[in-house]
Amino acid sequence: MIAEATKTTTIWILEDHEVFAKQVRRLIAAEEDLACPHHFSNPADLYDKLKFTNERPDLLLLDLGLPRKDGLEVLADIRSIMPEVKVLILTSFDDREKVYRAICNGASGYLLKTSDPDEILTGIRDVIHGASALSSPIAKMILEGFARYGPVHEIEPLTSREEDVLRYLVRGMIKKEIADQLSISQHTVDMHLRSVYRKLHVRSQTEAVSKALRQGLV
């Protein structure tokens, strides 16, 4: 009986640090079931590749500190252009806002560049098989952030427009950007935000975003 061939998982890397990118490619190349045929040092090169070929990866390793375009914007673009492709953040940024925004915008995992090679490989395999991958400090941060606001309670239902405003808030947009997206004034955005804060029993954007994620409101 002929053994079934192992499927090779194709991985692309978007990372502007050449030395680190080469290290990760070597790590991947040493695995029989993984391949990394492409590395892009800036978003423009990745977009050009997607524009002129039908080739797609199974997984994109994405840094957030990229030249000329924020990595979170690239994440949103990728989720729109090729929603079937899984995205694993591999970055040096460990601040709470970036972590929350990345996960909310569709990242399947969030690893720090300080992770050891085995952790990176395990994270890649976990994401490919449908699980999430989080560096220990990131997982701890998320749990502490959720625990800070106590147990989950029922809240007064949000209106559809309040949900829209909260959704854009979670994506990290400022009031002017939210107003532009919804074709309303910044004053109206303020009014909706005040109502959202009141219904969620929070006092700031950070608290609103954390509670929205914790309770699955958006």
CATH of the domain at 169: 1.10.10.10
User: What pLDDT does 3 receive?
Assistant: 47
Q: Which residues constitute the domain of residue 58?
A: 9-146
Q: Is residue 3 part of a domain?
A: no
CA separation for the pair 190, 175 (Å, rounded): 8
User: What pLDDT does 27 receive?
Assistant: 96
Q: Give per-10-residue mean pLDDT for the chain (218 aa).
A: 68 96 96 96 95 94 92 91 94 86 87 94 92 86 63 73 89 87 92 91 80 72
User: What pLDDT does 154 receive?
Assistant: 61
Write the CATH number for 26. 3.40.50.2300
User: What pLDDT does 139 receive?
Assistant: 83
Q: Is residue 153 part of a domain?
A: no
Residues 6+ apart with CB under 8 A from 42: 16, 66, 67, 68, 69
CA separation for the pair 77, 158 (Å, rounded): 28
Number of domains in the chain: 2
Alpha helices in 53-174 (DSSP H): 71-81, 96-104, 117-128, 136-148, 160-170
Q: Are residues 13 and 105 in the same domain?
A: yes
Strand partners, 10: 35
Phi, psi of 53 (to 5 degrees): -150, 155
In one-letter notation, the amino acid at residue 159 is T
The string of pLDDT tens digits covering residues 124-154 is 999 999 888 988 888 887 767 655 555 545 6
Question: Tokens in use for 195?
Answer: 């109502």
Q: How far is CA 116 from CA 2, 85, 88, in A?
A: 36, 24, 16
Q: Are residues 96 and 179 in the same domain?
A: no
User: What pLDDT does 5 receive?
Assistant: 55
CA separation for the pair 63, 12 (Å, rounded): 12
CA separation for the pair 125, 134 (Å, rounded): 12
Which residue among 146, 171, 204 closes a domain?
A: 146
User: What pLDDT does 146 receive?
Assistant: 59
User: What pLDDT does 125 receive?
Assistant: 93
CA separation for the pair 17, 98 (Å, rounded): 19
